[in-house]
Structure 1
Amino acid sequence: MSKKGKAIGLPIVNTRAAGIDIGSRIQVAAVPPELSDDPVQTFQSFTADIERMADWLISVGVTTVAMESTGVYWIPVYEILEERGLAVVLANARDCKTVPGRKSDVNDAQWLQRLHACGLLRASFRPSRDIAALRAYMRIRDRHLEYAAAHMQHMQKALTLMNLQLHHVLSDISGVTGLRIIRAIVAGEQDPDVLSAMRDVRCRESLETIRSALVGNYQPEHIFALSQALLLFDAYQERIADCDRQLERALQLLNVDKAMPETPLAKPRTKTKQVNAPKFDVRAMLYQLTGIDLTLIHGIGSSVALSLIAECGTDLSRWPTEKHFTSWLCLSPGCKISGGKVLSSHTRKSNSRVACQLRLVASTVGRTETALGAFYRRLAARIGKAKAVTATARKIAILFYRAMRFGMRYEDPGADQYEQRYRERVVKQLQRRAAHFGFSLQPAEMGVS
């Protein structure tokens, strides 16, 4: 306050706002001085102490709380405070950097409280409780897939040490033929004729080629390493099956109050099944949950659609426009301008799982004869593959946003129609530029060089 009694500084937006500095051992909570005689208090990280902190915040009249996303320590505090009815704002650490000077937990809590009281903190995205559970199951499943892939590499190394060139004659040693042969080797079979006879009818390589690849140097220590990797691979496959059951149960809970749409689900665009896809009808359950078929968008299969729903939820109104959504994913161009000069337009670096998955989808779509594939190839030839992947991933994210937010049904126009539209657009631009300089463009006669 000034000498004349006028307020100095930023106006207060949230009069009953609190700030909490999250730590692994203690949490420091700060409230406005006018609400309590002791506005800053320290609590232990035990559940009883967190509940006591929530009781204290409610008793002094706090209605909203701000905290930083520090590791994973904020999660139990966030959930307990949210259950008590407090509006919790999870702020990004880069948005609430403290002022220069001595740094302490008390200063950090008071600075968070001040920023939140003035309305200067933006809340990070946090899905609803049901979607958060689905996301947790999906992330655990993805982690198990990574561990299983690592043990598959261990099996391939053991086969290489025995000079069994199985990975050269089979596209995937984790397929039907590869696992059948590996299990037989672990069981003690070493006859190449017997092992090659286990070839699946869908295998492209001939019986003779596979037999030649299975003549090797069977040493006991390498067979032991192969058996250990196989046991661990099978163990993770069982854990992945457990995750599939939990995912199915979570989707059933989300679909309890939702009726199946009147329009029947169309047949899948492709009959090929992904190897690591969940072992239940994900497509039908997501169709009931969202009312739209996300797999109509090229590159988005059932597994990718489930990951997108688990990470972003079903209510995309949290992002006002598709530009906000792609900016949140760090897929839109940056905008660093100073003095009227563009310093950088690169996309921000991010660890977003959705952005990473969309980039993988974009790389796959780039090889298809679709409009998205033609878009990728045109940009790749002009600005390079890396930027083309990001631009295509952004376009797929926009299609996902429009489908979830407005119920858009995607229909692929095809690569030829996309190229024709692009040609017409370029010709119109050239005609406008020619007219601006006083010229006119005329189409060239066919057969005239």
Structure 2
Amino acid sequence: MAKVVKFFQVHGKGAGIDIGTRQIFVSVDGTSAVNFQTYTADYEACCKYLLENGITEVAMEATGVYWFCLYTMLEDHGIRVCLVNPREVQQVRGRKSDVQDCQWMQQLFTAGLLRESLIPQGLLKELRFLVRERLDLIESSSAYVNKMQRALELMNIKLANVISQIQGASGLKILRAILAGERDPERLASLCHKSILKTKAEDVAKSLHGNYNDVYLSMLRHALEMWEFHMVQIKALEQEISVLLDRINRDTSQVEVKGAPRPTRHHNPAIEDLHTKMVQIYGGIDLTGIAGINDVTLMRLLAEVGTDLDRFPDVGHFVSWLGLSPAYKQSGKMKRRIKGNPSNHAGQIFRQCAQSLIASRYNAIGEFMRRLRSRKGSRIAIKAGARKIAQAYYNALTKGLEYVEQGAEQYKKMLKQREIDLMKKLAKKHAFELKECA
């Protein structure tokens, strides 16, 4: 008979749940398992079963969206839920089954060996779904922009070569006029904004000489209609987000907001006073002073992380959770850097902030990343820049430290002074004397 291995118990009244599409498997002791179907009535029976067995905490995998309803119902019944990454509870190869998964999860959880995923509480949980849905719609709409460009290329209309965005104000006027039957390049070009006509009027008119075709025009019309449909859905979703932000703001004290909001170049949400709402939710701290962060970024970070970072003991734990810290493997005398786990949603936001700064000539983080890129490449440079932005974000929220932009020139002067100090130190060590050239 196989010997049962027992762990020290940290969560004595814990259970493990393996979630599937049709069934869930529950283990309250690590050796047996009970299954329930995934209907609401069966979830209620599962909650009752757990309470009857004295269970106060459960662990389960974050499997797709199947976990969400059961997670909510367990919380409503007063049972604390530890949601874990599936990678944390992988079974030994060749021994995986739903029953064994829930038993193994129960054993790991009661021994305190599982790391809990960060799940926003209350209204922030709803905000996360709405913000992610908005991003999904934006990504879906970009596919129809590509289809519009494809239809134009099939007719040899080179509009995308002379204006930055065919879905911008000038581009949409031209596309709608083409679909309405206008073919004169000069008249079509006259629909552009005066700033474009001032420098590119001839090129725009030249790009609109096309080989028009009814099939390709039909493709262009369908793509434009689908893009416009997505824009309507995004606007409606942004109104729901605005209402939700107002509900979150009810529990926060009113603060005086100073300074203008930082502009957003693409996909600026139609949310009234977004800057004011963000400053109030973040306790009066204007985090848009951090390089690369604007109000849309803060809204996304609010949905992913929230405003309470006390669960992270220090800034190192925070950037590690984001997937922005270097990963090392150490064994004996061997220590080498390895490819770490990919960043989570919040980590990706900070990476995007860093990527927007890498070409900037006016801030220190951009200069830092360009210097690092020349030696290590863009991927490592962006990751390091994202880490600096995340550190400033953490320090501002937990310690109230204001981020002060020193600028690229000041950063260069600091590096120069550091190199001079190093040369003086080496000169003193080897009994040399340094003289500054006139």
Superposition deviation, residue 431 in structure 1: 4.3
Distance 1:14 1:157, change over 3 A: same
How much identity, in percent, do the aligned residues show?
37
CA distance in 2 between counterparts of 1:226 and 1:101 reads 52
Contact 1:66–1:89 (CA<8 Å) still a contact in 2? yes
Which whole-Å deviations, capped at 9, do the CAs of 1:245-292 have from their partners, x for residues lacking one?
A: 011011101100212224x321235xx542301012321110111121
Size of the alignment, in residue pairs? 431
Name the structure 1 match of 2:117.
124
**Residue 149 of structure 2 is aligned to residue 163 of structure 1:** no
Name the structure 1 match of 2:302.
309
**Residue 319 of structure 2 is aligned to residue 322 of structure 1:** no
Contact 2:327–2:340 (CA<8 Å) still a contact in 1? yes
> Which amino acid in structure 2 is aligned with residue 14 of structure 1?
H
CA distance in 2 between counterparts of 1:201 and 1:335 reads 55
> Which amino acid in structure 2 is aligned with residue 354 of structure 1?
A
CA distance in 2 between counterparts of 1:434 and 1:15 reads 64
**Residue 271 of structure 2 is aligned to residue 277 of structure 1:** no
Distance 1:109 1:433, change over 3 A: farther
Contact 1:162–1:217 (CA<8 Å) still a contact in 2? yes
**Residue 250 of structure 2 is aligned to residue 245 of structure 1:** no
CA distance in 1 between counterparts of 2:62 and 2:329 reads 25
Superposition deviation, residue 200 in structure 1: 1.0
Q: Give the TM-score normalised by the residue count of structure 2.
A: 0.93
Superposition deviation, residue 385 in structure 1: 2.1
SS of 1:317's equivalent? Answer: coil
**Residue 112 of structure 2 is aligned to residue 112 of structure 1:** no
Distance 1:170 1:18, change over 3 A: same
Name the structure 2 match of 1:90.
83
Contact 1:170–1:205 (CA<8 Å) still a contact in 2? no
Name the structure 1 match of 2:208.
214
Unaligned runs of 5+ in 1: 1-6
**Residue 378 of structure 2 is aligned to residue 385 of structure 1:** yes
Distance 1:101 1:230, change over 3 A: closer
Superposition deviation, residue 39 in structure 1: 5.2
What is the RMSD computed on CA atoms of the aligned residues?
2.0
Q: Give the TM-score normalised by the residue count of structure 1.
A: 0.91
Contact 2:287–2:396 (CA<8 Å) still a contact in 1? yes
CA distance in 2 between counterparts of 1:227 and 1:170 reads 20
CA distance in 2 between counterparts of 1:174 and 1:104 reads 50
Superposition deviation, residue 440 in structure 1: 4.4
- 1:10 counterpart (7, 10, 25): 7
SS of 2:74's equivalent? Answer: helix
Name the structure 1 match of 2:434.
443
SS of 1:316's equivalent? Answer: coil
SS of 1:336's equivalent? Answer: strand
Between 165-174 and 96-105, the greater mean CA deviation after superposition: 96-105
Which whole-Å deviations, capped at 9, do the CAs of 1:303-347 have from their partners, x for residues lacking one?
A: 112111111111111211111111111110002111221143433
SS of 1:21's equivalent? Answer: strand
Superposition deviation, residue 98 in structure 1: 2.8
**Residue 356 of structure 2 is aligned to residue 359 of structure 1:** no
- 2:281 counterpart (281, 284, 289): 289
Contact 1:322–1:398 (CA<8 Å) still a contact in 2? yes
Name the structure 1 match of 2:398.
405
SS of 1:89's equivalent? Answer: strand
> Which amino acid in structure 2 is aligned with residue 49 of structure 1?
D
Unaligned runs of 5+ in 2: none
